[in-house]
Amino acid sequence: MKNRIVGFRSNAKLARAAWGEPSKIALQNLKQLTSLHSLSVAAGDLQFLGGKWYVTHSGLLGIARRNRCCGIKSDLVERHSDPAAARWVFKATVYDSRRSRGFVGYGDADPSNVSTLMRGAEMRVAETRAVNRALRKAYGIGLCSVDELGLLSSTLKSPPNPAQPTAPLVGGSSNDGHRPRLRDQLCLLIRQHSLEPTLVKAYAADFCGTQTLKHASRDLVESFISHLAEAANEDRDGLVCKLNSYARPAEAKP
């Protein structure tokens, strides 16, 4: 019980740093998620969007691992897929024990319901969504996963504080004790997903079209942070490859 209390306090602290002050109901839900499923904000198991908690793919895999999942099988549903239109449908089956008959989930993806970052990767998104739904059934997870939201995840945001003016730059300080600075949000994402800070800054500057990140407007930085969070949750390996493209080649010695 002591470990669960410590876990909840840590989760609540990180949640406040990343998304501001959650409502009392949201904190109660976070406490239950921490206690029942050991989901961690620091590990990237949860996202807080539009005042609600959503579980990530890594969070669901962690639950499966802790419960000694016996296997996950995914199959392409060819009759409902259309490669020419980049539409894919998958069926996933999760076996929570050796005697389990399996918990089935379906997932679909096409250019109309995936983010612009994932265009061209609709097949992987469809498979991930199918696996997520099967895992949620197998382990009784009532939370919707971020991957199942599709384009909605980029439009859902925590309610803004009307008393807080918009800061012009990422380095600008916030006078509102409940709203974290953009720099803090970016640092939290870097820690959560073990990203290289220097490469993230280079990517951010390129994304915002500025020489350095500090010259970007707040709106552009907010868009980048949302883009980075979505990329890290949907396809971290692809994001790491993208970041590595910003690494400077070693200078040849004379």
Give the long-range contacts of residues 193-201, CB within 8 A, separation 24 or more. Answer: 193/44, 193/232, 193/236, 193/239, 195/232, 195/239, 195/240, 195/243, 196/243, 199/243, 199/244, 199/246, 199/247, 200/228, 200/243
Q: Can you give the pLDDT at residue 167?
A: 36
Q: Which residues pair with 103 in a beta bridge?
A: 94
Q: Can you give the pLDDT at residue 220?
A: 83
Q: How many CB atoms lie within 10 A of CB 54?
A: 20
The pLDDT tens digits along the chain (254 residues) read 444 444 888 899 988 988 888 899 999 999 999 999 999 988 889 998 888 899 999 999 999 999 999 999 999 999 999 999 999 999 999 999 999 999 999 999 998 888 777 778 899 999 999 999 999 999 999 889 988 886 555 445 444 433 333 333 344 433 333 344 677 778 877 877 888 888 888 888 888 888 888 888 887 888 888 888 888 877 887 888 888 888 765 444 44
* Cα–Cα dist 229/187, whole Å: 11
Sign of the alpha-carbon torsion through 151, 221, 29, 38: positive
Structure pTM? 0.61
**Comparing C-alpha atoms, which of 26, 24, 32 is closest to residue 49?**
26
